[in-house]
Amino acid sequence: MPADFISSLFVFILAAFLGLELIKRVSPLLHTPLMSLTNALDAIVVVAAIIIAGRHETKLSTLLGLIAVAASFSNMVGGFLITDRMLHMFRAGKAKKS
């Protein structure tokens, strides 16, 4: 097994356990915004898409990279936007109470 794999596995295991602990604490009230927020965070694959498209190695890889840039960036923009909108609604509820 390559050394890179081992170090990635280390990071993965730590992040997965941290994720389990963090997400267990998210209120069921916010499960829908949780899903759209993690979707937006996951859209960070756009950085890999930019690199594979920008390296310009073969026509095919560039094309696939560019489609991936559009698909993941739309997730990033849309995901943050809708999470923000949803959480504003939850805040409005709180403001009314006070």
Binding to another protein (CB under 8 A) within 19-38 occurs at 19-20, 22-38
> Whole-number minimum distance, CB 6 to another protein, in Å?
11
> Whole-number minimum distance, CB 54 to another protein, in Å?
3
Size of the site for another protein (CB under 8 A): 88
Range 67-86, binding another protein (CB under 8 A): 67-86
Transcribe 19-51 into DSSP letters.
Answer: HHHHHHTS-GGGHHHHHHHHHHHHGGGHHHHHH
Q: Is 6 in the site for another protein (CB under 8 A)?
A: no
